[in-house]
Amino acid sequence: MRKRRVSVRILLPLIMSISIAVCILTCMLLFSHYLSVFIVDSAEKEVKKQKEALAQGIEQEIEDISDLINTIYYQNIKINDFSDEEFSKLLCNIFNDNSDRVYSISIYDIDGNCIFNTRKDNEKNVVNKVWFNNSVENIESIQFGDDELVCNTSVKRVIPVSKYIEYARSNRMNQGVLCVTFYTDYIEQILNNYGSTLNEYCYLVDANNELLYHPYMRAIESDLYEEKTLEKVQNIEKNNIVRNEGTNWIIYKQQLGYTGWNVVVVNSLSYIKNDNLNIYYVVWLILLIIGAVLITLDVVLLKNFTDPIYKLLRTMESFGRGNYEIKADENGIGELKVLSEQFNVMAEKLQKQMDEIRRNEHEKRKMEKKLLQSQINPHFLYNTLDSIIWMIQSGEYCGAEQMVSLLAKFFRISLSQGKDIIPLKKELEHATSYLAIQNIRFKDKFEFHVHADSELTKYLCPKLIIQPLLENAIYHGMEGMYDDGEIDINVYEKDGIINIDVVDNGLGMTEDKIDYIMHNKVVSSKRGSGIGVRNVNERIRLIYGEQYGISMISELDEGTTAKIMIPMLEEVDDK
């Protein structure tokens, strides 16, 4: 299976971007965690502070109440005789001075009988009251009773506060209970100053965890609201964060002196966090922007590093495929630029060497070509000259003259002022001259005909390409023939290619012989031009390409057809 190549251009920015994203996310999580801890701590401290302030306010009120009771007891009851007329007046004066907060001042004997009351309606059955019994049992401390309703100018809530007392009556010491009934208004006012929304509120519970004050007391009594933290308040000594109905609550409670009451402050942590949500969003946004900028910079920076490498790679690949002209862009940072520059230097040197090799190869081929062209066997010339001499000696002056003329023409065209490519017309003239000379030499042993389309004779062809084929026809085809030999040269165009067929009706050749002639450096005869068919074929292919050249078809006793195929190339004016 082929392994997929992972590009550094993608891999590096990807790894860096993922790393940055992970870092930013980690920062966001850490920030969220620490901010959350900070918010919770701050909120807890704040709630604790508020609870202490509330407790302080209520304790101050309780202290005032205690002070009043102690004043009544120690500065009035204890130092005066109950039977004294001034005694009642003193108590009534104290009552009148504190009538805005005190509903009544009453004294009961140890049996629960009322012996003094600032109000006319004496309370009955006080022996059943908790505050009375507690006072009798705890003679040192002040007792706070359960709240109850009283009727003054309107129906109001009061709290009975009692103390065990010893009083003198007719110079005789008696035991009893002093009860001062306070309106709850003052305490409620202190608590009302605190927030009263369901996210931030406080309430007051007595020793039995019964509600004494709650901002939603009416809703609670109307079954419209339920204080769900009430049960949990008892167990919040250590952990002040309580989960209730999917919301975290900060709950602080503090006992108020010796009353047994507890003030409870409740704050919704979710609400506090929600209130600070903007800080989260701002920091998250800043971190995200930083992340985005870092990723962008990372991509841009790495692109500046990897792009030149990538381009150089592409250039090298193209160079490897043979595009030696290609140059690497000399850009990039530091060593990357040097790398491109050095590649270009290397490529340039390599290209020069390649050009040199190519030029040498070309020269070599050219030389080979020249060599091939110049391979004209001198035997042909000697034989022809021998024939001329013989013709002169035997008085055949006309024939000798014709032969000399033909030989001159033959060599003129052979030389062609050093040109390699000549018009087809000249080549045909050359072939005709050759055939005519040979025909004289062979004493009209064969006939020859040239059929050429006059339109085609203007096209160019390499010189001396027909003659070797004619040699082949004469020496292989005509030998053994008696007077009826025929050699035809047919020139025609087929599919845009010039076809030159040399057809003889000689003895023909086997395929093996054709193959041998086509692929071996053989000449038709020692007496001939000395240029082999293979050489001609190679020359044509060298000049025009592999699709051109010579093909041969032969049949024994029927004859041979050698076909030359060359392109239709016209001579153009040098100017």
Partner 1 sequence: MTNSRRKHLIMLMLIGLIAICSTLLMLKRNNEPDITTIAVVLPQKETIATSRIMDGIRDYVLNNSIELDVLYVEEITEDDMNQILSEETKNNAIGTIIIYPEKYLKCDEDYRLISENIIAITEFMQNQFGVCAYFSNSSKEKEVYDAPLSTEIFQEIINGIITYIHLNNTYALGYKTIEMMDLNGKKGKLSNVEIKSVKVDKQVIESGDFDELLVE
282 binding partner 1? (CB under 8 A):
yes
CB of 574 to partner 1, least distance (A): 48
The interface mask with partner 1, positions 172-211, x = CB under 8 A, is ------------------------xxxx------------
DSSP letter string, 129-195: SHHHHHHHH-SSSEEE---EEEESSSEEEEEEEEEEEEEEETTEEEEEEEEEEEESHHHHHHHHTS-
99 binding partner 1? (CB under 8 A):
no
Q: Which is nearer to partner 1, 32 or 75 (CB)?
A: 32
Size of the site for partner 1 (CB under 8 A): 37
Q: Which is nearer to partner 1, 16 or 450 (CB)?
A: 16
CA distance 117 to 109: 12
DSSP H helices, 241-373, are 269-275, 277-320, 335-373
DSSP letter string, 303-331: HHHHHHHHHHHHHHHHHHTT-TT------
> Quick one: which of 192, 296, 323, 551 contacts partner 1 (CB under 8 A)?
296
156 binding partner 1? (CB under 8 A):
yes
> Quick one: which of 9, 101, 169, 303 contacts partner 1 (CB under 8 A)?
303
Q: Which is nearer to partner 1, 83 or 274 (CB)?
A: 274
CA distance 168 to 83: 8
100 binding partner 1? (CB under 8 A):
no
Residue 130 phi, psi (nearest 5): -65, -45
CA distance 356 to 367: 16
Enumerate residues 218-237 that contact partner 1 by CB under 8 A. 218-222, 224
CB atoms within 10 A of CB 127: 14
CB of 58 to partner 1, least distance (A): 18
Q: Which is nearer to partner 1, 51 or 129 (CB)?
A: 129
CA distance 515 to 550: 12
CB of 224 to partner 1, least distance (A): 5
> Quick one: which of 52, 64, 81, 146 contacts partner 1 (CB under 8 A)?
146
How is residue 231 annotated by DSSP? Answer: H
> Quick one: which of 75, 138, 274, 510 contacts partner 1 (CB under 8 A)?
274
247 binding partner 1? (CB under 8 A):
no
425 binding partner 1? (CB under 8 A):
no
Please choose, from the candidates 260, 253, 223, 211, the residue with its C-alpha nearest in 3D space to the C-alpha of residue 235: 253
337 binding partner 1? (CB under 8 A):
no
Please choose, from the candidates 35, 42, 47, the residue with its C-alpha nearest in 3D space to the C-alpha of residue 279: 35
- Give the pairing of strands 247-256 and 559-567: unpaired
Find the part of the chain contacting partner 1 (CB under 8 A) among 56-64, 213-221, 493-501, 535-543: 213-221
CA distance 53 to 61: 13
The residues that touch partner 1, with contacts defined as CB under 8 A, are: 146-149, 151-157, 196-199, 216-222, 224, 274-275, 277-278, 281-282, 285, 289, 292-293, 296, 300, 303, 307
